[in-house]
Amino acid sequence: MGQSQIPEKEKILASFPLRKALPPEISGWKTGREDQVFTRDDVFDYMNGGGEIYLAYDFQFVWVREYVRADEPSIVAEIYQMSSSEDAFGVFTHDTDGDEVELGQGGIYGAGLLRLWKDKIFVRILADRETPEAKTVILELGAKIAGAVAQEGGVPGLVKVLPEEGLRPKSLRYFHTLISLNAHYYLANVNVLNLSPETQVVMARYEREGSQARLLLVEYPTVERALDAHGRFVEIVLLERFKAGREAPPKKLEDGKFAGVVRSGRHLILVIEAEKKSVLEWITKTISQNLEGQKL
């Protein structure tokens, strides 16, 4: 995740192409306050306390438009420009509660909130409260934005090595840093896995053999960094002595569940909260094979 050059706000306001996809009026809703843009530098002015989650990805700017209509809730459309489709996908996976809708490369709607992603764009459209008319307008606005994004983007390569069997699709998360990990799953009060903007992480839950397990798959920029994180996990979390080149066997922890880690080149495959050891071993073995097959 390398941070790229962000255009000036005035230029974005004047020339952001997706701006033209949104009408000034729709079903009686008209644009409210002036359109706004917030970049990495001032995103906290828009969402104080919430900006960190976007900054944990290579977020460039968010373009915001408000629609208002008398006797109906106001609707705010936010278009997030990311530097890569992988990060647009990642932000989309942050919260997957809601019903899937066929918009863009993935859409979720629930109770007046639509989220979708396509190529390098993540979209969030929210009504103050849900009404039947507001829902129709939200979905129409989402379709207009998705339709204006010319091409589709790729999902992270790491996602492609996950075994589909037993995967709980809505549990899939993609991110880079500790702040995102902590938002989804607490491992420790220190950065055990050496996560940074350069790491890629996929987290998912599996159901297999009538049992559950949680996967954390991490890709590091170098083998050395993967090796160091491997040692840290074994010593800090598993509380075992680490010796490079020797795999630590899965360990049953205080909650009665198994935890284990396998390194494959620049990748760490961690399975935690596995109710069955056999499932843990199946996940690590399958992913190791897939990584080898994909030459990631």
Residues that bind other proteins (CB under 8 A): 46-53, 94-95, 97-98, 110-113, 124, 126, 129-130, 179, 182-190, 192, 231-232, 235-237, 239, 241-243, 253-255
Contacts of 180 (CB under 8 A, 6+ apart): 53, 56, 94, 173, 201
SS3 17: helix
Measuring CA to CA, which residue among 169, 156, 61, 167 is closest to residue 108?
169
SS3 296: coil
The identity of residue 88, as a single letter, is: A
**Least distance to other proteins from the beta carbon of 295, Å?**
30
Closer CB to other proteins, residue 165 or residue 255?
A: 255
Closer CB to other proteins, residue 97 or residue 165?
A: 97
**Least distance to other proteins from the beta carbon of 73, Å?**
9
Q: Say how far apart CA 113 and CA 69 lie, in whole Å.
A: 17
Closer CB to other proteins, residue 13 or residue 47?
A: 47
SS3 149: coil
> In this structure, what are the phi and psi dihedrals at residue 14, rounded to the nearest 5 degrees?
-80, -30
**Least distance to other proteins from the beta carbon of 214, Å?**
11
**Least distance to other proteins from the beta carbon of 29, Å?**
18
Q: Which residues pair with 202 in a beta bridge?
A: 174, 217
Closer CB to other proteins, residue 144 or residue 232?
A: 232
**Least distance to other proteins from the beta carbon of 46, Å?**
6
Closer CB to other proteins, residue 50 or residue 154?
A: 50
